[in-house]
Amino acid sequence: MLVYLRLLKESFGFAMNALTNNKLRTLLSLLGVTIGIFSIIAVLAAVDSLDRKISKDLSGLDKNTIYLIKFSFGPSEIPQWKREQFPNVKYDEYTYMKGSMTNTDQMAYQIFTRRESIKYDSKTVSAINIVPVSYEFIDIQGLEFEKGRFYNESEANSGATVIVLGNEIAKSLFEDAEPIGKNVRLYGKRFTVIGVLKKEGSGLFGDSNDTSAYIPVNFVRQLYGDNNTSLTNVIIFKPEKGVDMEAYKGEISQKLRSFRGLKAGEIDNFFINVFSGFTDLIDGILGQMNLVGWIISGFSLLVGGFGIANIMFVSVKERTNLIGIQKSLGAKNRFIMFQFLFEAVILSVIGGVIGLLLVWIISVILTKVLDFEFVLGMGNIILGTGLAAIIGLISGILPAIAASKLDPVEAIRTGM
């Protein structure tokens, strides 16, 4: 064991000697490994960071949540011109479904509307994402509050002028002052602030809760009416746990078709979008990003492998005399081979560590600049180091074997 530890120490010394004596040659040869490891780990770290952010953003939603809307979340076989003719879901359809659907935990009604400005005294926050929803939304979305509360059933049904503000909006309007109970102006009306949400951070899918404001959906219905084509409505279903999703979707389809008077043979003029289908689509995109990253990085690693092999063949040639002396003093072929293999692995790992260091530096910079947390996990660090070691091992095999098979007499004579 001590022999191999000494061997490892000597190999490390030879590797560092190659770096110090032939800086340009060695660095150029290691460049392929550095770029390859950087590319792979950068892609994996980015995908991991996206995955964590998506999981955080969507953690409050059940994967079985269903969105009944006139649009499809994914590809559809129905022609676009026909989809554009689908009607909006209506509030009376929501009340009908709420009273007739079985196996339902919660059901909410939401309207997608245009952005607005919110004013408080002389301060104005523009381009706010207004979210008109029914009171049940809090139990579906799982909103977290810094202070205050969400509006109740009575306030929601009457279309009361109450509002729940995102964290950034509240900070911009009130700074360090107490926002609860204050009046802000929206749609030309005074809205009483009853809640402020916890800070969430930037969102991947458009606005985050930090830049959103929640108001009763019935206020917007009273303002615009139920037939405004500039608005998009959606009914959100949260089925009970353990329910048969296909049967549940079938029940939604049957009841809405009956309510709309669709005849047998006519297609559904609505889409039942299950949230898990959306997350599966995102997972597929992330998987493709990983695959592309591996393919592109594979070419860099291949070039890096040739660079390491080139260094090792040159190293064998430069140390031919030393190899002859070692073998003449009794060094076995296995000892010589391991010496060069360790050296190749050490050089490759150095290139890999440089690549990992670059990923870490860039991730720190991007996290500060973009307000998005890029994470270089321990798993990716171990993977990058392991890949670099494997590349070094593979690249060093042929030079190591060549060195171990040298005849000691010829090696000494050649090196003189």
Q: Beta-strand (E) ranges in 228-268? A: 232-239
Q: What is the pLDDT of residue 279?
A: 61
Q: What is the pLDDT of residue 276?
A: 63
Q: What is the pLDDT of residue 294?
A: 73
Kindly report the CA angle at 23 between 378 and 396, in degrees rounded to 5? 60
Q: What is the pLDDT of residue 59?
A: 56
Which tokens is 281 given?
């689509």
Classify strands 66-69 and 271-274 as parallel, antiparallel or unpaired. antiparallel
Q: Residue 324 pairs with which residues in a beta bridge?
A: none
Residue 136 CA to its chain's centroid (Å)? 29
Fill in the amino acid letter for 248: Y
Q: Residue 129 pairs with which residues in a beta bridge?
A: 212
Other CB atoms within a 10 A radius of the CB of residue 180 amount to: 15
Q: What is the pLDDT of residue 10?
A: 67
Distance (Å, rounded) from C-alpha 45 to C-alpha 384? 11
Contact 401, 316 (CB under 8 A): no
| Burial tier of 193 (Cβ tally within 10 Å: 0-12, 13-18, 19+) | buried
Cα–Cα distance list, 358 to 28, 106, 351 (Å): 16, 48, 11
Distance (Å, rounded) from C-alpha 139 to C-alpha 389? 51
Among 282, 301, 273, smallest CA distance to 32 is for 301
Distance (Å, rounded) from C-alpha 176 to C-alpha 149? 19
Distance (Å, rounded) from C-alpha 129 to C-alpha 118? 10
Domains of the chain, by residue range, sit at 2-57+281-415, 87-269
* Tally of helices (H runs) and strands (E runs) in the chain: 14, 11
| Secondary structure letter of residue 87 according to DSSP | P
Q: What is the pLDDT of residue 54?
A: 66
Distance (Å, rounded) from C-alpha 366 to C-alpha 348? 27
Distance (Å, rounded) from C-alpha 7 to C-alpha 346? 12
- How do the pLDDT tens digits run along the chain, 416 residues long? 666 667 667 666 666 665 666 666 667 767 777 887 787 778 777 777 777 776 666 555 557 788 999 888 777 788 888 888 888 899 999 999 998 988 888 899 999 998 999 999 889 999 899 999 999 998 888 788 999 999 999 999 999 999 999 999 999 999 888 999 999 999 999 999 999 998 876 655 556 788 899 999 999 999 988 888 888 899 999 888 888 888 998 999 999 999 998 888 888 888 888 876 556 666 666 677 777 767 776 777 777 777 777 777 777 777 677 767 766 766 677 777 777 777 778 878 888 888 888 888 888 888 787 766 777 778 878 888 888 888 888 887 887 777 777 776 666 766 55
Classify strands 212-216 and 123-133 as parallel, antiparallel or unpaired. parallel
Reduce the DSSP state of residue 230 to 3 states and report it: coil
Which tokens is 61 given?
């939603």
